[in-house]
Amino acid sequence: MKKHLISAISIVSAVSALLFLAGLWMVFEDQQANTGLKTENTGTGKNTKKAGNTNEITITAIGDSLTRGTGDTAGKGYAGYTADEVKKKTKKAVLLQNNGIKGLTSSGLLEQIKQPQIKRELRSADIILLTIGGNDLFAGGEALGHLDNAYIEKLEKPYLVHLKQIYAGIRAVNKTATVYHVGLYNPFIDLSQAKTTSAIVRKWNFDSASVAADFPKVVYVPTFDLFELNVNDYLYSDKFHPNMAGYQLIGERVASLIHFREEEAK
């Protein structure tokens, strides 16, 4: 009886480990596949809005694979679902400019926003969507093998410096658009080290939100709670990125924070 029990436990542990490693490999692949800084525009219509055009709302999305929409079979990602929800709130045309790059870190994003085309798109934006930090934290899976505070702090310190510079760079070209920085969830919350990884992600989110609070019209959008109870229902097969349902949850959360005067007048 004990032998059967031990065998069953071993099988469960092995399956959990395989799922864990699959998620880490996807992160590693993302980072290796995007050493260059390519800009992809998945929106429709023009890349930049004409000055003074009040009949359009331009959403510019920047960031990592979550902005790109990796894992969403519909190809929209949270940015696309946010745009869909925004369309329900206004009679104006809504244009989405999606510049998400798989595997992007904060240092990469800091370089991306210096590109002339990205600066033009940020300047034209009424709403700016942003995801960054997941690749800094998980570091191609390395951090998950070093879950001590000293190692995580070593990863977080340069990230927070970059984040401050990213916010400042955005504000340098656009002082009026609200920036919605989508926070991190914990994709490993159902594994054996869930308590530790959750504490790390929560602190990372708290520290990021503290930086955001120092800048006008920068909103740090929490997502941890959306995935906390039923994480596997909202993850793609890689067990790291959201699936369509997960991205829809994030998009709805972001859109719930976006309001227009015409909406309030109804």
Q: What sign has the CA pseudo-torsion 166, 248, 135, 75? A: negative
Q: What superfamily does domain 2-264 belong to in CATH?
A: SGNH hydrolase (3.40.50.1110)
Angle at CA of residue 86, ends 83 and 89, nearest 5°? 160
Tokens matching residue 191: 């594994």
CB 110 within 8 A of CB 165: yes
- In the chain, which stretches have pLDDT less than 50? 1-50
The per-residue pLDDT for 263 is 57
The per-residue pLDDT for 192 is 84
User: What is the spatial order of strands in the sheet that 127-131 belongs to?
Assistant: 93-98, 56-63, 127-131, 178-182, 218-221
Tokens matching residue 169: 């760079």
The per-residue pLDDT for 78 is 99
Place of tokens 């992600």: 201
Mean pLDDT, all residues of the chain: 84
Angle between helices 116-124 and 149-173 (to 10 degrees): 70
The Cα 180–Cα 159 span in angstroms is 18
Tokens matching residue 207: 């520290």
The per-residue pLDDT for 141 is 62
Give the residue from 138, 130, 122 showing the smallest Cα distance to 212.
130
How many contiguous H segments (helices) and E segments (strands) does the chain have? Answer: 11, 5
- 220 - beta bridge partners? 181
The per-residue pLDDT for 20 is 43
Q: Which helix (H) or strand (E) holds 98?
A: strand 93-98
The per-residue pLDDT for 158 is 98
The per-residue pLDDT for 16 is 47
The Cα 139–Cα 24 span in angstroms is 9
The per-residue pLDDT for 39 is 37
